[in-house]
Amino acid sequence: MKSGLLITFEGIEGCGKSTQLRLTAEWLTKKAIDFFCTREPGGTQIGSEIRKILLSQSTTALEPVSEALLYLADRFQHIKEVIKPRLEAGQLILCDRYHDSTVAYQGYARGIPLDLLEQIWRGSGISQDPDLTLLFDLDPETGIRRSMQKLQVLKLDESRFEREALAFHSRVRNGFLSLSKVNPERFQVLDASGSAEQVHQATVFILQRWLQSKGRL
């Protein structure tokens, strides 16, 4: 049995990562490749409840450390219930956000010491690294505009982070880019400023070569 693979989709608000995950899923279906889609926060029943707290605009005065611990609690539950069992079964997993988001948002942007986040992550005994991370890079102003439009159309109460100052989102973006430089073997950075189809073609180009190298195509 081939080992499972975890591919994470990362980026700032409105970068289009969720759209690209959906398009990737459609592409994999056409290729008859078995896969599973999930997300963070909210990949489990417990995670869905945590997601409501973290993303709702009605959540106020949440301490940064509390926020980070909620994301980590969601992730540990997600790994235990969903990710590790599917990896052990040899499945390909596509995940919308993962641990790099916590490091970028709560570490680089909120100011929580990176070594503290790393200590909790590694010290848990549950941590699971992605095999590939696709980072969809976009300027924050464009991203926030796109994200707010999407939330309004879908009528979702998940705009807590969109309401942060532009400087916050710039720190998030810089955090992601810093992580990509520290982990160049895992990260692939894509320009997300083009159309969804243009970004999809760039994504497929990367995935095709990568999956071939893993014996999945």
CATH number of the domain that residue 190 is part of: 3.40.50.300
How many whole angstroms from its chain centre is CA 162?
16
**pLDDT one-digit tens code per residue, 62-98:** 999 999 999 999 999 999 999 999 999 999 999 999 9
Q: Please tell me the predicted confidence (pLDDT) of residue 50.
A: 98
Note the pLDDT of residue 77. Answer: 98
Confidence category of residue 155, pLDDT binned at 50, 70, 90 = confident
User: N- to C-terminal Cα distance for the chain?
Assistant: 15
Over residues 156-175, the pLDDT tens digits come to: 888 899 989 999 999 999 99
The mean pLDDT value for 119-137 works out to 97
Q: C-alpha 140: how far from its chain's center? A: 16
Which structural domain range is residue 172 located in? 5-213
Mean pLDDT of 137-155: 92
**Structurally, how many domains does the chain consist of?**
1
What pLDDT, in 10s, does the model give residues 41-51? 999 999 999 99
| In the predicted structure, residue 2 carries a pLDDT above the cut 90 | no
Q: Who wins on pLDDT, 159 or 214?
A: 214
